[in-house]
Structure 1
Amino acid sequence: MIVRVVKMVFRPECVTDFTALFEERKALIRNFEGCRHLQLWRQEGTQNVFFTYSHWDSESALDHYRFSAFFKDTWGKTKALFLEKAEAWSVIQEHILD
């Protein structure tokens, strides 16, 4: 399993458009083959900095999603709202903390 974290900074006037788009599509993302978990986080003290946090079965499952027509449409609409270029990380859990 991998974890994908994507940081997105939106133009302040576009935050409502982004959150509406996320609400509209979150169930479809969560039900995409290989996706096990999806959350939307907002940076404390800001209104326009968001992170998606998702779990995927594998890098290939994430790539299958990233190269899908659904993702391309969703990302195109999301990207149009950015103030800054998005940053993304794929990580794996190295140690389990007790």
Structure 2
Amino acid sequence: MFVRIVKMGFQPEKIDEFLANFEENKDKIRGFEGCQFLELYRGKDNTNQFFTYSFWEDEEALENYRNSELFKSVWAKTKVLFNEKPEAWSVDKLASLD
């Protein structure tokens, strides 16, 4: 399993716009071929920071999403709201404890 973590910082007055865009598109993203899991987190201490956490079948599935019209549309609306450069990590899941 391939895991993608993305950290994004937003202008405080643009957070509601980001959340509306995420709400509108979260089911489409989660339903994209190869996406197995999607969550959104908000920073406790810095409430302008958000993190997406998603599981993908493999790296190719993530790349297919990143090259899709869905991603391009979501990202175009998201990137103009940032107050800092986003960061992303691709990691392999080694263990999960329930």
- TM-score, with normalisation over the residues of structure 2? 0.94
Shift of residue 46, structure 1, vs aligned partner: 2.2
Q: Percent identity, aligned pairs only?
A: 55
Judged with a 3 Å threshold, the aligned counterparts in structure 2 of structure 1 residues 95 and 31 are, in CA distance, closer, same or farther, namely closer
User: Partner residue of 1:57?
Assistant: 57
Note the 1:78-89 alignment, pairs <5 A.
Answer: 78-89=78-89
Cα deviations by residue, 1:17-40 (Å, 9 ceiling, x for unpaired): 000100010000000000000000
Cα deviations by residue, 1:68-90 (Å, 9 ceiling, x for unpaired): 01101100110010001110001
- For the residue of structure 1 that corresponds to 2:74, the secondary structure is helix
Amino acid at match of 2:79: K
User: Partner residue of 1:41?
Assistant: 41
User: Partner residue of 2:29?
Assistant: 29
Cα deviations by residue, 1:27-60 (Å, 9 ceiling, x for unpaired): 0000000000000001112221000000000000
User: Partner residue of 1:2?
Assistant: 2
- TM-score, with normalisation over the residues of structure 1? 0.94
Equivalent residues of 1:34, 1:61 under 8 A apart: yes
2:84 and 2:93 map into 1 onto residues whose CA distance is 28
- For the residue of structure 2 that corresponds to 1:85, the secondary structure is coil
List runs of 5+ in structure 2 lacking aligned partners.
Answer: none
Equivalent residues of 1:15, 1:47 under 8 A apart: no
Taking only aligned residues, the RMSD between alpha carbons, in angstroms, comes to 1.3
